[in-house]
Amino acid sequence: MANASSVSEFLLLAFSEVRELQILHFSVFLVLYLATVSGNLLIISAVAFDHHLNSPMYFFLMNLAVQDLAQVTVIIPKSMANSLINDRHISYSGCVAQVLLLFFFLSSDFFLLTVMAYDRYIAICNPLHYEMVMNRRACTEMVISVWISGLLFGMLHASGTFATSFCSNVVNQFFCEIPQLLKLSCSDINIIEIGVILLSGVIAFGCFIFIVVTYVQIFTAVLRIPSAKGRQKAFSTCLPHLIVFSIFMFSGWFSYLSTISHIKSHLDLVFAVIYTMAPPLLNPVIYSLRNQEFKTALSKLLGLRSSES
């Protein structure tokens, strides 16, 4: 891929040329990054060390936390470092790595959320078959498939994006975002990457339809549960996943739609911050607030007293 372009480095978007605002950007991103890292590390630790969370749902949640942690680490530290030292440069290989790894983790996130919807469907609609269907081997194979699929998508997007030559090295984003890189291409149409994007769109739409249909059946089954406590418990395990998926899906969709529609760059920046940082930051909060088992496990992990309400 390196031979496809004469560009040796890229210039990323600076949040501001004013030194005070650069320091402010660094400080805000540092707080958000540390909050994201801390929250997801708490999820990983709670699931790993509490035997009460030894179920497929929490196994998938731990993998989601790992993916979210990796996703923000791919782009946020570089942006903070650039603001801190008043620099905009990223090497060509660094840009390739950002595209590959970011799409690796974003795709893995999406596929894992689809698997988690299936897990909730089996747990609520076919509870008698749950342990047989969602056994340890099946869950491990699902997660391995998710990671491999994500890696393949990352490699496809990186190869498609950098298979062209670039007529400019100024990226109108604070990280190497594919739509912004395609605007720098010397050719009007990058057929390879457009084909990969279309393929990704078809698969993502299929996953979206699967999740929607799954949740229609889940909510139909939940509403038939006779006890209010049973319905509340079922909703407490489903609503966090649905909220997380919605934030992830629509923030990313708006971000790419704004880029394609040539909306002003400051909105591109806002949407990019939302879809790259909001889901990883909010996931631990959403799951810990809605799930009593998880709140209990976190309280034990942090040495706090908890009530078994």
- Domain range list for the chain: 2-301
Give the C-alpha separation, 132 to 109, whole Å: 25
The domain covering 2-301 belongs, at the CATH homologous superfamily level, to Rhodopsin 7-helix transmembrane proteins (1.20.1070.10)
Q: What is the mean pLDDT of residues 243-259?
A: 68
Does position 93 have pLDDT exceeding 90, yes or no?
A: yes
The sign one gets for the Cα dihedral 43, 46, 52, 54 is positive
How many residues does the structure list for the chain? 309
Residue 165 is predicted with a pLDDT of: 84
User: What's the rounded Cα separation, in Å, for the pair 155 and 162?
Assistant: 11
Mean per-residue pLDDT, 261-279? 72
Give the residue from 304, 228, 280 showing the smallest Cα distance to 113: 280
Summary mean pLDDT of the chain: 82
**Range scoring the smallest mean pLDDT among 34-38, 64-68, 197-201:** 197-201
219's tokens: 């909510």
User: How sure is the predictor about 291, in pLDDT bands with cuts at 50, 70 and 90?
Assistant: low
C-alpha to C-alpha distance for 40 and 113, rounded to whole angstroms? 16
Band of residue 3 on the pLDDT scale cut at 50, 70, 90: very low
String of b and e for 210-235 (b: at least 16 CB within 10 Å)? ebeebbeebeeebeeeeeeeeeebbb
Distance CA 255, CA 271 (A): 5
Mean per-residue pLDDT, 272-280: 83
Kindly report the number of other CB atoms within 10 A of residue 163's CB atom. Answer: 16
